[in-house]
Structure 1
Amino acid sequence: MKIYDLIIIGGGRASRLAAKVGRLGKRVALIEKSKLGGTCANRGCVPSKLLVGYADVLRSIKESQRHYVRSSIDNIDIKKIFKENNEYIASVDGEYKAMLNENVELFRGIGSFVSDSIVEVNGVKLTAPKIVIATGTKPKKPPFKEAWSSDDIFPLNKIPSSITIVGSGFIACELANVFDALGVKTKLLVRSERLLSNEDEDISKVFKQEFSKKIDIEFNTTIKDAIYNDSFFDIILEDKAGKIKKHTSEALLYAIGRESNAKTLNLENTHIALDKRGFIKRDEFFQTDAKGVYVAGDAAGEHMLQHAASFEINHLYKYLFEDKKEPLKFKYMPHSVFTDPEIASVGISEQEAKEKDLDAVVSKTDWLTSAKAESMKLKYPFTKFIVDKKTYEILGCHMIGPQSSTMIHQVLTVMHIDNDIRHLKEMLYIHPALSESLLPAAINAVKDIRKLSDS
């Protein structure tokens, strides 16, 4: 039996927790079955967003005609693009390992519980008074042999000439945007009428309208069968009416959601409980039903976002090693979809406000009063606020348009410090910066509230 001060199962964001605790002089066991850095750095957020950079440049060239510029693309060196991406991925594990000092012992393998306080990896039993589960999630398994999940494309060593992507969420849309922009013949299959169904309906509607102009999408369509023959998939598609047609694609990628990794942990040997979806239950202090065992990040199945996981890991460090006993409550959880169009969102949607029967005003304003926004020659960008009628509290903000993920941080600042939309109305903006488009959006929301108050 090897004894430690802390055992961590999962070397993604929690690698930083191991490094910080190791610097305190405490003995840490860090268990990782694959590469340090986790899904985000190796197979998710970072490598995919590096590709988005190339896609953005290519889109701007392809769409330059709206600025009265006739342009063409002479060559896309897609092999070099993916080579650079693969080289980044190859460097991640070493960079994370370099953070660890001699107090952190790294175990490469699958960690599982023998009891509430004992973990086994590679036949070695470990124990500690504090154990952190940070095992993240995995993509749902594709139903056909040789089909890919998102885990299979980073690193991507054989670039397909054509790809069919199944899904309607942000991973499917981001990857469809990237592959299409890079010159890979891309088809997106969606089983319903809607893309990004978790977004506010107005955002989802405009996104569908604009995204469909770029990407070949078949709605109300499912795959009845897919057979891999040598280097291509022969795919049988079925629409909502039952009509069948054939489709051929070199690659078939499923992006249909993610699920818990908890099955690898042998939790039946512990008091740790799972929820109905198979994620690990915890209290407001991240503690599971087993004393001294905590869970952070996607393994708890709550927010499933890297920035949330990082925030949780940082808070857990303070709770466990700085004696700060306040629970972590995310009042607001922002997210973004890095596609073309780009989306950013925080708080509730209009539909949620109606379902909860909230006394709120919904205000929607385009960006076109900003000269910078006007210069992009796009008519669709807008900001939508959901605001409490009595307190002026921003309950939700939703944006669609270039740089939305950057723009929304101005709203987030107000929401976190003193959530009152009047601050956005009264502040000084640089003219004619893109973020100036928030000014009329805030003015309109305040006007709408005052009209209702006066009526």
Structure 2
Amino acid sequence: MKEFDLIVLGGGRATSLAKNAAKKGKKVAVIEKSALGGTCPNRGCVPSKLLIGYAEVSRAIQEAKRHYIDATIKKIDVEKIFEKTNHYISKIDENYQKKFNENVTVFRGEGKFVSNKVIEVNGEQLTAKQIVIATGTRPMKPPHEKAWSSDDIFPLKKVPKSIAIVGSGFIAVELANFFDAVGIKTKLLVRSGELLKNEDGEIQAVFQEEFSKNVDVAFNTTIKETHYNESKQVFELILENKERQTTPHSCEALLYATGRESNADLLNLEATNIELDKRGFIKRNEFFETTAKDVYVVGDAGGEYMLQHAAAYEVNHMEKYLYEDKKEPLKFKYMPHAVFCEPEIASVGITEEKAKEEGIAYVSSVTNWLASAKAESTKLKYPITKFIINPNNYEILGCHLVGPQSATMMHQVLAVMHLDNDIRHLKEMLYIHPALSEALLPAAVNSVKEVEKYKEAK
């Protein structure tokens, strides 16, 4: 039995906790069955955004006509794009390993609990005063053995000439946008009639209209039959729409991006007192404590906010809780997210649909960006900002953007929400003219007007 001060089960975002604990003189074990760094830098948000960078350049050339520029693309070297992206990924594990000092021992293998405080990996048993579970999630398994999940994109060994993608969430639309933009024949298959259904309705409608101008989307469509032709190395699909009409479709690659599931079932938690919720994620309280003493869970493994920036924030709080005697529970003031696509979305807080559902008092405003010369220069008419405001105290309940650089623009709103959540600060502050962020000024002005109307009506 090897003894440690801390075991971190999962070598993703929680490696920063392991690194910093080791700097404090703690003896730390990190257990990881794959590459250090976890999903985000190896198979998720980082490499996918590298791909999107290429897509943005391609789209800009394709859409140059709206700037009265006649431009054509002679060639897109997709093989080179993936070669560069794969090379980036290949260095991640090594770079994470270099961050550890001699107090960290990395165990390469799949860790399973033997009891509450004992984990077995590669035939060795480890125990520690404290254990942090940070095992994340995995993509839902595709129903066909030759089909891909998002984990199979990075590193990609063979670039297809055509691809069908099943899904309607952010992973599906981001990857469909990339493949289509770089000239790979792409078809997005959506079971329902909408994309990004969890976004605010007005933002979602704009996104869907603009996205569908570029990408071939088959709504209300399922795959009735799947056959992989080995000799031709293509999928031969029979697609079925809601009227039960069928059409054939062939493609070299078939990707399922239909959601993610907990890895908790791989940990042998039956040997412990650790409990799961109805969705199969590990139960925890406001201090990240599981139902086993001195065993904690952070990040996606807890099933709360399955976003990299949320996991990083939680791990930072976990370190303060364990080693700086700061015992306050972590309560997120807000949880922003973005969809890095064409068009781009950024969102924080409540949607109007949710406000109505929960009976929350609110006013809303939708404002285009055209008051900003920088926004006008994009020659795009669709970008909008939507604010949802508490009319009793000017609190920003939600903000939703669709348009270029939405994720960057959102940080101005986030700063106000973090420090003193009052929409009037965005109305009264001084903006650089004519920066893109200046589009937030008329949106804030309109929101304040809506609050004043509400107060007058009362």
Measured in 1, the distance between the counterparts of 2:153 and 2:455 equals: 54
Match of 1:107 in 2: 107
Q: What is the DSSP-based 3-state SS (H/G/I as helix, E as strand, rest coil) of the residue aligned with 1:4? A: strand
Match of 1:401 in 2: 403
Are positions 1:140 and 2:158 aligned together? no
Measured in 2, the distance between the counterparts of 1:176 and 1:307 equals: 23
Measured in 2, the distance between the counterparts of 1:449 and 1:323 equals: 42
Q: What is the DSSP-based 3-state SS (H/G/I as helix, E as strand, rest coil) of the residue aligned with 2:334? A: coil
1:37-436 correspondence to structure 2 within 5 Å: 37-230=37-230, 231-436=233-438
Contact 1:33 1:109 in 2 (8 A): yes
What TM-score, normalized to structure 2?
0.99
Query: Residues 374-424 of structure 1: CA distance to partner in whole angstroms, max 9, x if unpaired?
Result: 110101000000000010000000000000000000000000000000000
Measured in 2, the distance between the counterparts of 1:369 and 1:213 equals: 25
**1:331 Cα deviation after fit:** 1.7
Query: Residues 296-318 of structure 1: CA distance to partner in whole angstroms, max 9, x if unpaired?
Result: 00000100000000000011011
In structure 1, give the amino acid aligned to 2:170: F
**1:145 Cα deviation after fit:** 2.0
Q: What is the DSSP-based 3-state SS (H/G/I as helix, E as strand, rest coil) of the residue aligned with 1:444? A: helix
Contact 1:145 1:228 in 2 (8 A): no
Measured in 2, the distance between the counterparts of 1:61 and 1:441 equals: 30
Are positions 1:440 and 2:429 aligned together? no
Measured in 1, the distance between the counterparts of 2:332 and 2:228 equals: 45
Measured in 1, the distance between the counterparts of 2:140 and 2:456 equals: 52
In structure 1, give the amino acid aligned to 2:180: D
Measured in 1, the distance between the counterparts of 2:187 and 2:268 equals: 40
Contact 1:6 1:29 in 2 (8 A): yes
**1:4 Cα deviation after fit:** 0.2
Contact 1:333 1:346 in 2 (8 A): yes
**1:129 Cα deviation after fit:** 1.1
Query: Identical aligned pairs, as a percentage?
Result: 66
**1:426 Cα deviation after fit:** 0.3
Contact 1:55 1:178 in 2 (8 A): yes
**1:250 Cα deviation after fit:** 0.2
In structure 2, the gaps of 5 or more residues are: none
Contact 1:129 1:292 in 2 (8 A): yes
Are positions 1:453 and 2:455 aligned together? yes
Q: What is the DSSP-based 3-state SS (H/G/I as helix, E as strand, rest coil) of the residue aligned with 1:453? A: helix
Number of residue pairs matched by the alignment: 455
**1:451 Cα deviation after fit:** 1.4
